[in-house]
Amino acid sequence: MTTGKPRVLATRHFPPDVEARLAGSFDAILNPEDRLYDGASLAKATIDCAGIMCAAGDPLGADTIASLPQSVRMIATFSVGYEHVDVAAAAKRGIVVSNTPDVLTDATADIAMLCLLGAARRTHEGAQMLRTHHWVGWTPTQLMGVHVTGKRLGILGMGRIGQALADRARAFRMQIHYSNRSRLPAELEKGAVFHADPDAMLPYCDFLSINAPMTPSTHKWVNAERIGKLPKGAIVVNTARGGVVDDEALIAALKSGRLAAAGLDVFDGEPKIHPGYYDLANTFLLPHMGSATIETRNAMGFKALDNLEAFLLRNQTPPDLVKAS
């Protein structure tokens, strides 16, 4: 039975408050089992749908978009990154795309700082020692990690999250270096050292944090050559996208001692991550939980709905329209 409201498919099981609003505003097709769609099943499920509310990792490449029914007019992704959506293919079909910027900055910056500290202070090893009943008491040389206070932090990608991480790092009196597509105004730079060439920044990075989007130019940017430019014993942190890191190169550097440690919240091909990470004691690994707070996930969902409601209910341009490059 039709409700007279535009039909919207939710590709994933979203937070309860988000789904309640989605169901109130639209004829919603929810996914309480959180089953994963492939391209063919997604095209079939969207028959008579005007919109799709998707999430990072959903298969919305050119082939899938080409197979979507003509009724689909909008894709709203529950994420800042939109590399899983072929925006150019959507534009050719007349489908608009929106994302959810601005609302997950603090939560992700918190996780980046957690990854930095967790890697530096060998917290994975400490937790394992306790949980496997191998701790025999304090010793003078036990689990000696890397000091954080006063060290140099290089940030690749000084957008909102990079700036928020820099603010947190300043509380540890870290010296901030950064590389970005353009230099920040002085009031946002706050004394950080700008490097127009990101490779030139690497020798100044006791810690390197990846906060850049996944693009063709950043794909496997952290490779063996660039790791070789970091100071020996540096620590790499990635809370952006897994594909920015060459896993083979990073794992080799962690095994050899070229790098002291790594703190990672994202992985190439996740959830099937490179098996080489599992046996590395000097890694602090998290399951892509940068935005995982109740407040942030609700805010992401509400922003996605703001976009869907603007376009499908009021015929307005979505406030967070993604433009095809």
Catalytic residues: 241, 270, 288
Q: CA-CA-CA-CA torsion for 252, 239, 75, 27, nearest 10 degrees?
A: 120
Give the count of alpha carbons within 13 A of 39, CB side only. 12
Element of type H or E holding 299: helix 294-308
Give 67-70 contacts, CB < 8 A, sequence gap 24+: 67/39, 67/40, 67/43, 68/42, 68/43, 68/93, 68/95, 69/43
As a three-state string, the secondary structure of 107-160 is HHHHHHHHHHHHHHCCHHHHHHHHHCCCCCCCCCCCCCCCCCCCCEEEEECCCH
